[in-house]
Amino acid sequence: MSEAELISDLPRLEELSAQWDALAVTNAAPESGPAWMIGWWRHVAPQDALLRVVAVHDRGELIGIAPLYVDLGQSRLRRCHRLLASDFSGYVTPLALPDRAWEVAEAVARALMATEPRPSALELGPLPSPSPWVAALRERWPGRIRPIAYRTNLLEVPTVSLYQESFDVWLKSLNSHFRSNCRRYRRRFEKEGGTERISTPATVTADIQTFTRLHTARWERLGGSRLVALGERLPLLLGDLAQALLPEERFRLLILEINGEPISADLCLTAGGEIIGVNIGWDERFKHLSAPRLSMLSMIEQGFRHGDHRVSLGWGRVDYKHTFANGSNAAAWDVLLPAGSQLPLALARAAPTAANRRMLQSAKRLLPAEEVDRLRGLRKRISQVRA
Amino acid sequence: MSETEIIEDLTRLEELEGAWDDLAVANAEPTSGPAWMLGWWRHAAPPDARLRVVTVHDHGELIGIVPLCVEPTDPHRYVLLAHNFTSSVTPLARADRTWEVAEVAARALRQAQPRLRSIALAPLLASSPWVAALPDVWPARIRPLVLRHSVVDAPTISLRHDSLDDWLSNRGSSFRANARKRRKQFERAGGTARTSTHETITADIQKFIALHASRWRPLGESRLVALGERLPHLLGELAQALLPTERFRLLLLELDGEPVGAQLTLAGGGELVGVNTGWDERFKHFSPARLALLYALEDSIARNEHRYSLGREASHRLGRGTSSYKLGFADGNDPVAESVLLPRDPRLAGTLFTSDVVRRQLRRSVRQALSDDEIDKAKRLLKRVRRSPK
């Protein structure tokens, strides 16, 4: 019989790190493991956030975890529970051993309903697709009425499946134009004295500084990034990540250098064969070398070398991702509103966002693609002017 | 750029068997491959059903298939092949191409004849991406309505163990002791277990049918027995398609050469699906069904397979408050859901009320809202009302 434990203090959560990480590897979910989520909690989480992690054990073994928090900063009445690092990741998800998600969901739902503050809403996202969690939590929620469930957003996530035998076979599977471009990028880079390397324990501290410098220099001019916004906390976060994941080669910081000078730093995390790109920084002076593309090629090559299965390119809209992708997945943002005295308030709060999202989705369906792109550009310009 | 085709005749579909089977293996879905689905189509489908299989190709390679048909009871309702004959079925796609396949298939289905008014996405795994993907990419100004009207547990056994002993060591001490005792008793009595080969398959199919029929005919609830003379043909075809790759596993338990139990399992991509069992009631004391499952697990663990799916019937048929021997073996659950996708058109209201969608949805809500005792009371009341003279 499984038992749920509600964890609200960091030391207890850290005790479970090894078992939690094993679950992240089993589920191939690098951003749902303790390194990323506890790192986020230490360096990024809102100040008034409360940990609400539900760990589910069966005979002493951790069989599932729902790493949640509740942000009480805005209003004491608002008890919206979210997944740790949900505003900072490509995908986050509760975790369970294979075929135990429904059992874990039931235990999690009961634990959440038995504690204070009870959730008025449970925001789950960005969840990978397929995910059993929304259905499982809704179906197994205690009480006579199932929670109301709705989806606020769904985005395409381009992926590169690494099912071929080797990097060379993968390269051959690409169209000839793209393949010749890839080879050209590499030749040009090598001709200019370019070399690449992956951070090791000996170089990682300096490499993190390089990444921070290149990333900040690139993104400060473009209006910032979630990493730039961290300021001095960024190297600390990356240091924690490296300490946890570098020994198993799951923290992959790829540095491209020209004659020893770093021109690009690209960070990926991996677990269970899944590679997730965290972010990249590169020197604009070397734009002609197409550093992001070169870097992506090398990360894919690394993936083949390590026997990984897939590179997830994230849901951000960057065109070059699509030239590499040979598949796509989806990231979904779902909300569960449990029945109870808080439901009317939660519904009233959710209605404007839900209506806004529905309107956007309907506009996407109703308008031709060019019109949608034009409106998207307009919105981007307005937000840049505002910034 | 992917291309789509709606296949309406069996011959064309048979041409794609190899590529379709590869997809079934890649997706670890033995009962959504051509052997099972086309077997159902030839021997178990309603006589006037019409094939409407959507295939999606990219550069000549089959990257996805949505195997549907239209049954004569409602020509505007599309259902998955073998939907009423197995625990779960599903459309298939190459890894990470589900959304692309769904989009192309949805466009084709919108043009299909007879005009589609609903697709029964059932029985599908509750975590299946298709129920989200199809409505999201449906080519219409308004998203189709999706109603989920049942979710049923489907127990599973994880085979990620070094050996049967390793698997048993994770079970309770009483289960472990019973399992070992039964096996010892059986083997001491001269019992042996073997899996069918090319040489024995024809005779073994007859033995399976005889054991299965003798067990289930009195109980009157086997979909296989209901097939009558078509059953050996169906099993023969399955064996022909899957035995060469050892994915048709017919396990026979024998005592001094006499068959006392048989179990049929299909495999694909590391997933095993138990089709059915049969045993001789005279040898009930050996618990042939449990024994057969143990032998099958031992064989599958040795083959490095991942999971044995016991099917939704394991918990579904028995109802509340009872337990099946299968549940004693299970260490996981991958529930199966029944959903229906209803494109918005002027006839939507009519479709909702002429089909059983609303009734099932209501029944589900009532089940959720009432306690077990209240449901029992309501059932008794309904029974009395039905019995009372008009």
The answer for A 152-191 residues in CB contact with B (under 8 A) is 154, 156, 159, 161, 163
Kindly tell me if the per-residue pLDDT of B321 is higher than 60.
no
Distance between B262 CA and the closest CA of chain A, angstroms: 27
Of B100, B141, B369, the CB nearest to A365: B141
Check A362 against B142: CB less than 8 A apart.
Answer: yes
Residues with Cβ < 8 Å from B257, sequence gap 6 or more? none
pLDDT at A353 over 90: no
Q: What was the ipTM of the complex prediction?
A: 0.85
A3-36 pLDDT, tens digit per residue, is: 999 999 999 999 999 999 999 999 999 999 999 9
pLDDT at A189 over 90: yes
The residue among A254, A265, A261, A287 whose CA lies nearest residue A193 is A261
- Residue A96 sits at φ, ψ, to 5 deg, of -155, 160
CA distance A320 to chain B (A): 18
Q: What is the pLDDT of residues B54-106, one digit of tens each?
A: 999 999 999 999 999 998 888 899 999 999 999 999 999 999 999 999 999 99
In this model, does residue B319 exceed pLDDT 60?
A: no
Residue closest to B118 by CA, chosen among B362, B360, B382, B380: B360
Question: Are B95 and A98 inside 8 Å of each other by CB?
Answer: no
CB-based contact A247:A223 (threshold 8 Å): no
**CA–CA gap between residue B229 and residue B210 (Å, rounded):** 12
By the 8 A CB rule, do A265 and A273 touch?
Answer: no
Cα–Cα dist A378/A51, whole Å = 39
Chain A contact set for B370 (CB, 8 A): 144
Query: Which position has the higher pLDDT, A365 or B36?
Result: B36
- Comparing alpha-carbon positions, the chain B residue that sits nearest to A364 is B141
Q: Give the residue from A264, A314, A268 showing the smallest Cα distance to A291.
A: A264
pLDDT of residue B313: 56
For β-strands A261-271 and A251-258, DSSP reports them as antiparallel
> Is A98 touching B (CB cutoff 8 A)?
yes
- The answer to whether the Cβ–Cβ distance between A135 and B151 falls below 8 Å is yes
Which chain A residues are closer than 8 Å to B315 by Cβ? none
Contact B151 A139 (CB under 8 A): yes
* Residues of chain B neighbouring A360 (CB-CB closer than 8 A): none
A310 touches chain B (CB under 8 A): yes
- List the single residue in B with minimal CA-CA distance to A147: B368
Chain B interface, mutation test: which of A93, A129, A359, A361, most B Cβ atoms within 10 Å?
A: A129
Size of the A and B interface in Cβ pairs below 8 Å? 82
Q: Quick one: pLDDT band at residue B173, thresholds 50, 70, 90? A: very high
User: B9-56 pLDDT, tens per residue?
Assistant: 999 999 999 999 999 999 999 999 999 999 999 999 999 999 999 999
Query: What percentage of chain B reaches a pLDDT higher than 90?
Result: 70
Our CA angle for B350, B355, B361, nearest 5°, is 105
Reported as a single tens digit per residue, the pLDDT across A97-138 is 999 999 999 999 999 999 888 888 999 989 998 899 999 999
- Could you tell me which chain B residue has the CA closest to the CA of A158? B96
| Sheet hosting strand B258-268, strand order edge to edge | B191-195, B248-255, B258-268, B271-279, B307-309, B155-158, B332-333
Residues of B contacting chain A (CB within 8 angstroms):
94-97, 99-100, 126-129, 132-133, 136, 140-143, 148, 151, 153, 156, 158, 160, 307, 331-335, 337, 368-370
> Minimal Cα distance from A103: which residue of B?
B333
- Put simply, the answer to whether A329 touches B99 (Cβ < 8 Å) is yes
User: Of the candidates A145, A2, A154, A125, which has an alpha carbon nearest to the alpha carbon of residue A63?
Assistant: A2
Name the band, by pLDDT with cuts 50, 70 and 90, for residue B361.
confident
Contact A231/B at CB under 8 A: no
Q: Is the pLDDT of residue A77 over 60?
A: yes
Q: Where does the pLDDT of residue A1 fall: very low under 50, low under 70, confident under 90, or very high at 90 and above? A: confident
Mean pLDDT for chain A overall: 90
pTM assigned to the model:
0.88
B chain contacts of residue A97, beta-carbon cutoff 8 Å: 158, 332
Of the candidates B96, B132, B151, the beta carbon closest to that of A327 is on B96
Which carries the bigger pLDDT value, residue B281 or residue A384? Answer: B281
Place of tokens 């200019």: A192
Q: Which of B110-119, B152-161, B370-379 has the lowest mean pLDDT?
A: B370-379
Between strands A121-128 and A327-337, the pairing is antiparallel
Confidence tier at B320 by pLDDT (50, 70, 90): very low
